[in-house]
Structure 1
Amino acid sequence: MTYFVRKGLFYLVALWAAVTLNFFIPRLMPGTPVDSLMAKLAQRGGQVNPETRRAFELLLGADTDEPLLAQYWSYLGNTLRGEFGVSVSSYPTPVAEVISASLPWTVVLVGIATLLSFLLGVTLGMVVGWRRGTWLDSLIPATTVLAAVPYFWLALILSAVFAGTLGWFPLNGGYDVVLDPGWSLEFIGSAVYHGILPALTIVISSVGGWLLGMRNMMVSTGSEDYVLTAQAKGLRGSRVMLRYAARNAVLPSVAGFAISLGFVVSGSIITEQVFSYPGIGSKLLQAVQNNDYALMQGIFLIITVAVLGANLVVDLLYGLIDPRTRS
């Protein structure tokens, strides 16, 4: 029990540190959200004066006259209440609404793609590692090369070939714009159809890492005494591979998969930009370009909580699976 309490306290401190950095880092960037709005107002011929600037500061909750420490305490209180302010880049929409509208797109796309790449990579790595030295080892250089290809280049190539030349998939967007978002079969089918190509990009670029890691662990596990003993007993090769070797070799991959799930909510900025996908990654890039502190802080907080939560689950599961980690 002491182990679990210690882990819980550690992650609470880590969460506080992350939230604190989340407050200070955007304020180290040049410019402010008010400057961004004032520049847009000036471009449109609006009146720019100190009174207008003060009105924008009060409207956005970016009171620069307030001491930084007071702003920090206000930020902590608003965060606990789930109030992240108003987004400048999507003004006057609240940050919570911007995140809630874009986060499901990213979680579904990146989550499913991450799961598929993990299952495919681990399965192939298990077979390749068990039959090492055969022609199956040729899969490793091929998948490693694909993983080393620049992400944006791979997305552009797939988009040009399958969407532009062959016309098998739509070029961009998350769904057919003539449809109203909802739970209708027509809309869900359109969303799945638009998400196939971005998901394929993520799977191709990440499956090589899972395959290589699982293959190396299978090679190492295959020489363990309990595997050799099972083989000496005359057990079927498939049973030894699944029940003895793969069952232990997959543990590091499971830990890595759980942690990678925490990063699912951060989205894939490059993929979403190339395919104009309405996910959280494009919103984050938009927030950085517009000095949108409120939206940046809201997205970073969601990412931080997800990553810390995934790490906490992994630590607790390892504590239950392997009692030696609790000592």
Structure 2
Amino acid sequence: MSYVLKRIGTFIWMLWVATTLNFIIPRLMPGNPAEALYGKFQGQLSPAAMQAMEIQFGVNTGVPLWKQYLTYLWNMLHLNFGISYNFYPTKVSTIIGHSLPYTIGLVGISLIIAFAVGTVLGIYGAWKRNGALDSIQSPVLLFLQSVPAFWLGLMMLFYFGFIKGWFPDSHAYSDGATPSFTWGFIGDLLWHATLPGLALILTGLGGWMLGMRNMMVQTLGDDYITFAEAKGAPQRTLMLRYAARNAILPNFTGFGQALAAVVSGSVLVETIFSYPGIGYTLQQGILAEDYPLIQGIFLIIAVVTLFANMIVDILYVRLDPRAENGGDAA
């Protein structure tokens, strides 16, 4: 229980640090979002309009910094990230709420598939090491792992999208389609997500397979595996219950950390396919110098990353109690 409370305390502390840095860093930069938006109008706005925009963006120079900070914390608690001036007057929370489901659906499902398939391949590859499957899958998946996902996505987009015309080349659904929970629209979503999803899956398989295979090979050499085999334990039990159950712990930790990265999306892959996820939205915000949007997205990424790491640490102790005492036997 003390370990859990310690991890929660660390999460709260790091969350405060991330939130505070997210407030301070943009204010150390020259200018502010209101001035950038004011410049887009080529001086056509009055000074009163400039002051009103500063208040709306939360950067009013007439308000003390500590009051701005308290207002900022209050707004964060209510998920009020301000106004995006690239999509003015849309709220940042509205833009993130629209983009996040697409990223979770694309990157999240791709990650789960890559993790599950890669882990299974790693288990069987180690169990039948130097066999036909292991001899083929290891070099192929390691090669795919070395290929950037955006480059593989470009190649797939060029061949299957432009040359063959089998798959759409952009967006998350067809023009004119109305988002709804119908089989037709869901099928359209899956059709548009096929190429970017495959690019993410194929380039991610190698890492999960290699990590699981190496841990399985190491675990299979432990004394308790030899002892269980000498007692006549079935081969399936040895492979799954004894070896794989212990070897999967590092992969499980990596999976938890990778889940946190799902929220940040895959910026280059989403940009190539013009997929309206959080990565593509972040890229648009950076190009337009949309500080409120960038700030809101970074804060969401930081919060989810910290929370996911905390959950993984707590669950890891449940799977391996030795971790609570720094790896010593319980």
- With normalisation by structure 1, the TM-score equals 0.93
SS at match of 2:86: coil
Deviates more, 1:110-119 or 1:235-244: 235-244
Aligned partner of 1:2 in structure 2 is: 2
SS at match of 1:175: coil
CA distance in 2, matches of 1:77, 1:246: 47
Q: Is the 8 A contact 2:249 2:316 kept in 1?
A: no
Q: How has the CA–CA distance of structure 1 residues 141 and 235 changed in structure 2, closer, same or farther, with 3 Å as cutoff?
A: same
Deviates more, 1:119-128 or 1:180-189: 180-189
SS at match of 1:193: helix
Deviation at 1:295, TM superposition (A): 1.5
- Look up the equivalent residue of 2:16 and give its one-letter code: W
Aligned partner of 1:307 in structure 2 is: 305
Aligned partner of 1:11 in structure 2 is: 11
Deviation at 1:161, TM superposition (A): 1.2
Q: Is the 8 A contact 1:162 1:169 kept in 2?
A: yes
Which of 144, 154, 157 matches 2:152?
154
CA distance in 2, matches of 1:177, 1:36: 33
**Identity over aligned pairs, percent:** 45
- Alignment of 1:203 with 2:208, yes or no, is no
- Look up the equivalent residue of 2:62 and give its one-letter code: D
Aligned partner of 1:232 in structure 2 is: 230
Unpaired segments ≥5 residues, structure 2: 326-330
- Alignment of 1:122 with 2:119, yes or no, is yes
User: Aligned pairs, how many?
Assistant: 324
Question: Mapping of 1:9-158 within 5 angstroms?
Answer: 9-42=9-42, 47-48=44-45, 50-135=47-132, 136-158=134-156
Deviation at 1:30, TM superposition (A): 4.8
- Look up the equivalent residue of 1:102 and give its one-letter code: S
Q: Is the 8 A contact 1:32 1:291 kept in 2?
A: no
Deviates more, 1:282-291 or 1:83-92: 282-291
Aligned partner of 2:212 in structure 1 is: 214
Deviates more, 1:17-26 or 1:241-250: 17-26
Unpaired segments ≥5 residues, structure 1: none
Q: How has the CA–CA distance of structure 1 residues 295 and 33 changed in structure 2, closer, same or farther, with 3 Å as cutoff?
A: same
Deviation at 1:207, TM superposition (A): 0.9
Deviation at 1:59, TM superposition (A): 3.2
CA distance in 1, matches of 2:182, 2:257: 33
- Look up the equivalent residue of 2:9 and give its one-letter code: L
Q: How has the CA–CA distance of structure 1 residues 25 and 151 changed in structure 2, closer, same or farther, with 3 Å as cutoff?
A: farther
CA distance in 1, matches of 2:191, 2:131: 37
Q: Superposition RMSD on alpha carbons, in Å? A: 1.8
Q: Is the 8 A contact 2:150 2:199 kept in 1?
A: no
Deviation at 1:326, TM superposition (A): 2.7
Deviation at 1:164, TM superposition (A): 1.3
Q: Report Cα offsets for 1:195-233 as digits up to 9, x if no partner.
A: 111111110111111011001001100101121122223
SS at match of 2:263: helix
Aligned partner of 2:252 in structure 1 is: 254
CA distance in 1, matches of 2:28, 2:127: 52
